[in-house]
Amino acid sequence: QVQLVESGGGLVQAGGSLRLSCLASRSIFSFNAMGWYRQGAAKQRELVAEVSFDGRTNYADSVKGRFTISRDNKNTIYLQMNSLKAEDTAVYYCNARTSLSDTWGQGIQVTVSS
């Protein structure tokens, strides 16, 4: 079973930065894509950013220019979050998908105070 472990969340003031990490139990290149989703209070889970195996990226309009998804050459993807806003407060989930499976991390809290 694939395991995804997020880290790097926490509390930050508006305008600040955080970097989330997601460590996968196997090579990130074994997935079609990996990404970050978030779910705020009383909201549906939504895509934040994703990166495909060949490096293509996709971002939600709400985070373009502020967030950057990246990866190392092995097992980890990152989400660099800059210029954070209160509306970015949510539980953030790492995701890995193939044509046959969809794996989620446990979620990590990001809270942005104003």
Token pair recorded at residue 99: 């044509």
Interval 28-73: pLDDT, tens: 999 999 999 999 998 999 999 999 999 999 999 999 999 999 999 8
DSSP state at residue 87: G
Interval 99-114: pLDDT, tens: 999 999 999 999 999 8
**CB 71 within 8 Å of CB 27:** no
